[in-house]
Amino acid sequence: MLEKRTEIKDTVNKVSKKVFLYGWVNSVRDHGKLIFVDLRDRSGIIQLVGDNKLLDGLKNEFVLQIAGQVQARPPKLVNPKIKTGKVEVKVEKVKILSQSLDLPFNVSDDGKEINENLRLKYRYLDLRRPRMRKNLLVRQRAIEFIRNWLIKNDFWEIETPILTKATPEGARDFLVPSRLQKGNFYALPQSPQQYKQLLMVAGIEKYFQIARCFRDEDPRADRAYGEFTQLDLEMSFVDEKDILSLTETLFSQMCQEVFPQKHISKKPFPRLTYKEAIKKYKTDKPDLRKNKNDSEELSWCWVVDFPLFEWKKHESRFDAMHHPFTAPKEKCVADLLAKKNLGKLQAKQYDLILNGYEVGGGSIRIIDPQVLGAVFEVMGHTPQKIKEKFGHLLQAFDFGVPPHGGIAAGLDRILMILQNEPSLREVIAFPMTASGQTAVMKAPSSASSEQLKELGIKKSPRLKS
């Protein structure tokens, strides 16, 4: 049975008291008759001192149970680099709970020089390094702040389904075969978009979710392959200004609370129209920092009034600039219904930009089934396809739908920027590799013949090259 544990961080308050510590060997220094060991748990590091016979044979990353007495270090031996630097533990008993092989890499430095695929293969070791542990802890604190702030502002946190329907929302879907309805497929959600709009029809009025989303898109440093986490929220009886103001207040206060070392260059966040951004900065994701060498400067801004449609040259058709549920400006509705001036129509759409990265996007939604149907038609959907893919939403809108709008903010990307990391993978516990393989477990993998048979799936023979 394990003795009652004292976390390492609490030893500073237990001078002259006996404690039981548990943790990993961070380093061993043999000084002849005495051996000094740095013991590490998630709360910190402390120096152990003990007789050679007692501590002999210990190696880095062994997991130990230590019984000993906390004592003050001599003034000349205080270590100001660690929080427990004024104390040490004189070891009375040691028990090796688990041994460790030699690690494939060092876990005490920042690890940025190590091959990323090797780090991801042994991610459970990579997460032992202080930088990665800090990233995960800060992530937790940021999400905790967001959740508590929204709940205090009368939002309801509601989970929406992961197994859902494939709909043409932009990216490729991840499909999941159904065992009970052979030949049919679920899709993992690219976003909770339709469900949160249905929640507005249900009268929820203020919804949010820390949502897992799935898109089969090509990876890059600022975009994770496969899955990502977003703050998803929706409100009824609001306009664009309400959503922008609420989002701005939320992230400003989050930065102040969780990232106090950061400074926001301009408040309120600057607002640029899409045309202004393109004309002045040649991009719809302008980096407005005054000093781009200042790693603590945050330049948030809004880009608004996007085109409703964009022309897909290779497909010879218009597509929604954001998604098909985005409402047009009132002045553009007549032209939309008449299918006129489609390239000039403006949308009630807005993007949130941070230091030159798009970190969020949202819009006021269409609530008129006729207008929504016109958008689908412009995108090239036949009436049959509209009914098949979106009939459930159009039907819901026949039962009293409130004006509503919302936003989705990419938490992985925001945290990457706020923690000055070069890649999203540095702020995610178990990210995908650049080639789309999961860390440690190496998915995707093959399925057994029995599993495929249950699903009614037959393997196609591989073509000879």
Q: Quote the Cα angle for 156-173-383, to 5°.
A: 90
Residue 160's identity, in one-letter code, is T
CA dihedral sign, ordered 389, 393, 394, 396:
positive
Q: For residue 48, is it within any domain?
A: yes
Domain that holds residue 236: 121-306+347-367+402-427
Phi-psi region of 142 (alpha: psi -120 to 50; beta: other; left: phi over 0): alpha
Tell me what pLDDT residue 301 has.
98
The pLDDT > 90 percentage for the chain reads: 83
- The whole-angstrom separation of Cα 388 and Cα 411 is 32
**215 marked ligand binding residue:** yes
Q: How many residues does the chain have?
A: 465
Q: Does 463 appear as a known binding residue?
A: no
Residue 114 lies in a domain: no
One domain for residues 153 and 276: yes
- pLDDT at position 444 over 70: yes
The model's pLDDT over 237-264, given as tens digits with 9 standing for 90+, comes to 999 999 999 999 999 999 999 999 999 9
Give the number of other Cβ atoms within 10 Å of residue 144's Cβ.
12
131 is in an annotated binding site: no
Are both 34 and 76 inside the same structural domain?
Answer: yes
Query: In angstroms, rounded to a whole number, what is the distance separating the alpha carbons of residues 336 and 298?
Result: 38
The pLDDT tens digits of the residues spanning 63-113 come to 999 999 999 999 999 999 999 999 999 999 999 999 999 999 999 999 999
Residues 93, 128 share a domain: no
The Cα–Cα gap between 224 and 126 comes to 19
Q: Known binder of ligand: residue 412? A: yes
Please give the helix or strand (H or E) that residue 309 lies within, else none: strand 309-312
pLDDT bin (cut points 50, 70, 90) of residue 384 is confident
Decide which of 98, 130, 151 is a domain's last residue.
98
Residue 248 marked as a ligand binder: no
The CA-based angle 75-79-82, given to 5 degrees, is 140
Question: What's the DSSP call for residue 55?
Answer: H
Q: Is 232 annotated as a binding residue?
A: no
Query: What integer pLDDT is reported at residue 435 of this predicted model?
Result: 85
Q: Where residue 1 falls among pLDDT bands split at 50, 70, 90? A: low
Instruction: Return the HEC string of 184-195.
Output: CEEECCCCCHHH
Within this chain, do residues 135 and 52 fall inside the same structural domain, yes or no?
no
Residues 279 and 133 in one domain: yes
Note whether 307 and 341 are within 8 A (CB): no
Is 123 a known ligand-binding residue?
A: no
Q: Do 196 and 52 sit in the same domain of this protein?
A: no
- The CATH code of the domain that includes 220 is 3.30.930.10
187 and 75 in one domain? no
- How many angstroms separate the CA atoms of 234 and 365, rounded? 10
> Does 29 share its domain with 170?
no
Whether 216 has a binding-site annotation, put simply, is yes
222 is in an annotated binding site: no
The verdict on whether omega for the bond into residue 130 sits within 30 degrees of 0, i.e. cis, is no
Count of domains in the chain? 2
Q: Kindly list the distances between the CA atom of residue 21 and the CA atoms of 67, 93, 125, in Å, as whole numbers in the listed order.
A: 7, 11, 21
User: Does 374 reside within a domain?
Assistant: no
CA dihedral 240, 241, 245, 247 (to 10 degrees): 0
Same domain, 132 and 90: no
